[in-house]
Amino acid sequence: MSETYYSRVYTDRPAYADFEAPKKFSAIEGIIARRLREHPNTICSYSGGSDSDLLIDLIERVRKIHRLPPVKYAFFNTGLEMKATKEHVKATAEKYSVAIEEHRPKVNIVTASRKYGIPFISKIMSAGLNQWQKKGVPLSVHNEYNEAEDKAAKRAELKDRYPNCESLLNFLCCCNSAGEPRPNIQLVINSSAYMLDFIKENPPDFTISADCCTYCKKNIAHEIQKSYEMIITGERRDEGGMRSVPRQDNTSLCFTETSNGQFRLRPLYYVSDKDKDWYKQYYKLRYSDAYEIYGLTRTGCCGCPISYKAEDDLAMIKPYEPILVKAAYNVFGKSYEYRRRYNEYKARKMAEEADRKKSGGTICIFDSPVETIKVT
């Protein structure tokens, strides 16, 4: 059995990451108080989602207890936000007697998706497939690397053959830059089962990219945040994807200094789903109607295809906001259809693999039961 690979996010986690909820939140409150004292010129992103609700409640309680200066809050409206979210942002501002300033992008989501592409599966998958579409590295490099006896040498040879494609080669070959296999991490194409085979047999007929998020949210956020000493966000490791892997500006993903001299605080990074439930019940928080009435478990840009249940969520939203749901299908429809095809492909492949294991690998090739081939 191959050894399980753990990233630094797991191996370098702080002690409080393993505490039970009450003690964990006490530690987080201490972290927030300390950092707000050190860096009073602070801005916090508030999305109107459940993580943001925990975050603003923690910050405002800590501020009140320790009599700390006010924090600036910013809500970044991508253009595909639910009415329930926008109303909740206003209600939250009133609840805590704070200002939550709304910011809109220069490039709207419709224009960005048409120009740069639309997401598929996840931000990591979208970025990898976008590079594959742009750079034209053949999918066959995966088999080349896989079949090579000296994988480090093969990876070096592929680097020479395809210059300026480092991350793409790692993504397609399921390895790192040293040529060491990394088949079980989220940064590779087969982090989604059978994805490589699916793409080979069903090439996408649309541009895949998560850049709509960059142009409709990240760019404007960076512009607004650049004059502040510290930025607070509500990212959590349990959300998975890019939020669960190390990045250049940090390892622990809790508090770091970035390359431009700003500080970044992620107080909720080691808060689990179980911790969230405890906090909501203990402090009697009420999330937006998107959660409490529509029944969603996650919010954000309405219908974003990086959610595995985007279409299920849209069905839940439709009775309350049908026009917004129609808009989401107009923007992301091709990704929804492609994901349905992938899900069907994956289910079929998994069923075939289960049948092979059940039969012991014996496949009958001819009608005669005598003529069989044993597959090893």
pTM for this structure?
Answer: 0.83
Which residues fall within 8 angstroms of residue 168, CB to CB, at 6 or more apart? 128, 131, 132, 135, 137, 162
CA 191 to chain centre: 13
Of 13-17, 205-209, 233-237, least confident by mean pLDDT is: 13-17
Residue 106 scores a pLDDT above 90: no
**CB neighbour burial string for 271-304, b if at least 16 within 10 angstroms, e if fewer:** beeebbebbbeeeeeebbbbbeebebeebbbbbb
- Give the single-character DSSP code of 320: T
Q: What percent of the chain stands above pLDDT 90?
A: 76
Q: How big, in percent rounded to 5, are the helix, strand and coil portions of the chain? A: 50, 10, 40
Residue 268 scores a pLDDT above 50: yes
The owner of tokens 């009435």 is 293
pLDDT tens string 27-63: 999 999 999 999 999 999 999 999 999 999 999 999 9
Q: Which regions of the chain does DSSP assign to beta strands (E)?
A: 42-45, 72-76, 100-103, 230-232, 255-257, 263-265, 362-364, 372-374
Over residues 324-347, the mean pLDDT reads 97
CA distances from 10 to 176, 212, 253, 275 (A): 18, 29, 11, 18
pLDDT tens string 298-328: 898 899 999 999 999 999 999 999 999 999 9
CA angle 56, 58, 64 (to 5 degrees): 100
For residue 167, report the phi and psi dihedrals to the nearest 5 degrees.
-65, -35
What does the chain come to in residues?
376
The owner of tokens 């080691």 is 270
Domains of the chain as residue ranges with CATH: 8-104+229-287 (3.40.50.620), 121-201 (no CATH), 295-376 (no CATH)
Of 106-120, 152-166, 282-296, least confident by mean pLDDT is: 106-120
Q: Residue 128 has what pLDDT?
A: 96
Residue 110 scores a pLDDT above 50: yes
Q: Residue 8 has what pLDDT?
A: 57
Q: Residue 14 has what pLDDT?
A: 85
**Closest among 291, 289, 325 to 310, alpha carbons compared:** 325
Q: Residue 374 has what pLDDT?
A: 38
Burial of 226 (0-12, 13-18, 19+ CB in 10 A): exposed
Question: What tokens does 128 get?
Answer: 């990898």
**Average model confidence (pLDDT) across the chain:** 89
Q: pLDDT category, 365, cuts 50, 70, 90?
A: very low
Q: pLDDT category, 363, cuts 50, 70, 90?
A: very low
Q: Residue 11 has what pLDDT?
A: 60
Higher pLDDT pick, 117 / 258: 117
